[in-house]
Amino acid sequence: MSMRGIRLTKGFLLELKRRLRFIEDARRLLEMKRDGLIKELTTRLDEVIRFREEISARAEKLRTRLASFHSAYGTDELKTYPAYLDERLSVELISKSIMGVIIPELKSIQVPDLRNKYPPHVISLAKEVSSFTEILVELSILEFVIERLSEELRKTNIQVNALKNVIIPSYKSLIKRLEDMLSEEMLEEFVRIKMVKDILMRRRA
């Protein structure tokens, strides 16, 4: 930290110390936020890992099913079967704050009712695709939350590191320099006063 704008006064030193205490409090708070975010992230990552294992198994099963349907009925049939469905999947989200991070949370998911809409050769495949889409929506929300939390963690980490490794040490070194300079000044003053006192004593004598 440069010495520009710094006054060599005890008052200024006290102000600097007050600021340092404030910054250290902020660092502690940010560290708590970071730890909280890590905890949230870890929980959700475990969840996403479990989810992904389940999803990849189901995706593979669905891929085989789609491949089988494609092989038996051809491209045109596969391409046109969504035409039977007259509704679309709708998702309602609400916002939630975790450590100040706004994340979406699934409030409800409206899966179209497939009954009475598909011919017999399509219905079981349509059901599989529909239930897979449902968990895919849940996974994508979870992944989005993880992305938001990770981004916030990255920012918080940068802030904590900046405080811990740059700002606080520079404040500490500035305070030390100021203290050194002030004690040197005090010593000079003390010596000066002592010398003046000696001169005055000698004159009186």
Partner 1 sequence: MRAYLISRCHGLATHLLSARAIQDIAYSRSLSEFRDVLTPTDYGARLMRVERINQVEKALSRVFIERMNYLLEISSGGDKDFLEAYLRRIELQNIMRILRKIVIKVEKAEILDELMPIRIPEAVSLSDLANSRSIDEALSKLEGTIYEGSAKLRGEKLIIIEAALRKAYYEEVLRKLRKIPLTDGKRIEELISLEIDLSNAAASTLPPAHGYNVEVAEKLMLESPRGLKLKRFIEASRSPSIEELLNKLPEYSDFIRGLLEGIELDVMLLRSLWRRVYAQRIQTYNNFFYVIRYILACEIEYRDLRAIAFSIHHQIPLEDRFKLLISAGVTEA
CA dihedral 192, 196, 198, 204 (to 10 degrees): -170
Nearest distance, CB of residue 91 and partner 1, angstroms: 21
Can you tell me the distance from the alpha carbon of 59 to that of 133, in angstroms, rounded to the nearest whole number? 10
Nearest distance, CB of residue 70 and partner 1, angstroms: 5
The residue among 122 and 142 lying less far from partner 1, judged by its C-beta, is 122
Can you tell me the distance from the alpha carbon of 163 to that of 153, in angstroms, rounded to the nearest whole number? 15
88 binds partner 1 (CB under 8 A): no
Q: Cα–Cα distances in Å, from 169 out to 141, 173, 174, 175?
A: 41, 6, 8, 10
How many CB atoms sit inside 10 A of residue 202's CB? 8
**What is the CA 167 to chain-centroid distance, rounded?**
21
Nearest distance, CB of residue 112 and partner 1, angstroms: 13
121 binds partner 1 (CB under 8 A): yes
Stretch that binds partner 1, among 102-110, 116-124, 169-177, 190-198 (CB under 8 A): 116-124
Nearest distance, CB of residue 108 and partner 1, angstroms: 21
Nearest distance, CB of residue 69 and partner 1, angstroms: 7
Can you tell me the distance from the alpha carbon of 171 to that of 57, in angstroms, rounded to the nearest whole number? 55
**What is the CA 177 to chain-centroid distance, rounded?**
36
The residue among 10 and 61 lying less far from partner 1, judged by its C-beta, is 61
Binding mask 48-87 for partner 1 (x = CB under 8 A): ---------------xxx-xxxxxxxxxxx-xxxxxx-x-
Write out the residues near partner 1 by the rule CB under 8 A: 63-65, 67-77, 79-84, 86, 114-121, 123-124, 127
